[in-house]
């Protein structure tokens, strides 16, 4: 009987049907499982969740934090699809609002595309604390007065491990996307975290100039940022200021005096005599705090100053600098610049 060709054909047909049926069941189970994992939220809080993603946070950490917050009950499935679709290599840091109706997959999509933001805060390189506070206030993130008060609050500075009397210098210039619930504290924590990430990444591969604390380096970078906006000049300008400090010469930097004058741009000769610790024409050494919030290239410049013997520089009014080793060379450069005006 078993040798009957007809019987063998029937057995093969049954096996094929079994394999097909098993395949269909597995496909249905796969679809059901993934549909539950990707499109359905576990029963949880009925209110929105403000979710922070710090710079440098891994995709795996984000997914398991979402699981702890009740956004998904299937973190491993989200990891699988995130890696399959390439979402794991590109998620945006920021503060997100996750509403109860959002599916886990929609949350991942927004983290990848950065589309769940409500406010866009752009802080240019060289912005002062006061300028940052003014821009935050315009977005409705508190009043300028309250924001400035928080920026110099000793308890908050200690909490954020800021080695200064204010956040000036430690708010990294960047574009930040914020939800409507974001407080000034949320924004500051995000900006300080971004500063730490960038500063540590540069510092990791850079020898720190001897005798400089973190605050010294940030203060010097803030001066370099204001003196020249060109990355090609920053490492030289940083080296010049370090040379002057090492020789106990006054820095004689106009931007520090402008900071003392609350941002007034046009300086007069009498301004260089004002009695302020920020007047580097009158006092030796660095000013007591940074004078603005420096960007990546200015921070990189002070950690990697270009070895030069120059002690002086002046802008040639065309976007470049003229460098000199001596005061006589500086005087000659000044006369040349004024002749070209």
Tokens of 105: 């997959």
> Mean pLDDT for each consecutive 10-residue tract of the chain (341 residues)?
54 50 42 52 60 79 82 74 74 74 74 67 95 94 96 97 97 85 91 92 80 95 93 94 96 95 82 94 96 96 93 80 85 75 58
Among 205, 144, 200, 142, CA closest to 170: 200
Domain boundaries, the chain: 49-113, 214-340
pLDDT confidence of residue 44 = 54
pTM for this prediction: 0.68
Sign of the alpha-carbon dihedral angle for 312, 339, 228, 128: positive
Q: Report pLDDT for 71.
A: 74
Main-chain dihedrals φ then ψ at residue 270, nearest 5 degrees: -65, -25
- 306 close to 236: Cβ distance less than 8 angstroms: yes
The distance from CA 92 to its chain's CA centroid, rounded to whole angstroms, is: 11
Q: What is the CATH number of domain 49-113?
A: 3.30.1490
The reported pLDDT for the residue numbered 26 is: 46
Nearest to 172 by CA among 205, 202, 146: 202
């Amino acid at each position: 009987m078993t040798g009957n060709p007809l019987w063998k054909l029937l057995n093969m047909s049954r096996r094929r049907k079994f394999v097909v049926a098993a395949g269909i069941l597995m496909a249905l189970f796969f679809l059901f499982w993934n549909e539950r994992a990707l499109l359905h939220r576990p029963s949880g809080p009925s209110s929105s969740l403000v979710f922070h993603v710090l710079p440098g946070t891994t995709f795996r950490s984000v997914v398991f934090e979402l699981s702890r917050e009740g956004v998904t009950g299937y973190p491993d499935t989200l990891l699988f699809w995130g890696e399959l679709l390439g979402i794991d290599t590109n998620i945006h840091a920021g503060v997100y609002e996750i509403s109860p109706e959002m599916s886990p997959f929609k949350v991942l999509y927004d983290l990848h595309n950065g589309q769940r933001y409500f406010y866009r805060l752009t802080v240019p390189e060289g912005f002062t604390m006061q300028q940052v506070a003014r821009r935050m206030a315009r977005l409705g993130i508190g009043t300028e007065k309250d924001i400035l008060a928080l920026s110099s609050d000793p308890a908050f500075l200690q909490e954020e491990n800021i080695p200064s009397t204010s956040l000036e210098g430690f708010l990294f210039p960047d574009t930040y996307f914020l939800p409507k619930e974001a407080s000034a504290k949320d924004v500051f924590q995000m900006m300080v975290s971004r500063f730490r990430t960038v500063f540590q990444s540069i510092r990791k591969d850079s020898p720190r100039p001897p005798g400089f604390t973190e605050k010294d380096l940030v203060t010097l970078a803030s001066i370099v940022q204001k003196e020249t906006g060109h990355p090609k000049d920053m490492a030289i300008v940083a080296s010049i200021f370090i040379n002057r400090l090492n020789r106990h010469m006054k820095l004689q930097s106009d931007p520090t005096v402008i900071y003392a004058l609350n941002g007034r741009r046009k300086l007069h000769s009498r301004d260089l005599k004002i009695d302020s610790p920020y007047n580097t024409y009158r006092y030796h050494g660095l000013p007591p705090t940074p004078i603005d919030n420096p960007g990546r290239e200015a921070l990189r410049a002070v950690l990697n100053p270009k070895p030069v013997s120059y002690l002086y520089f002046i802008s040639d009014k065309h976007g470049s600098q003229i460098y000199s080793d001596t005061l006589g060379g500086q005087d000659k450069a000044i006369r040349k610049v004024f002749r070209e005006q």
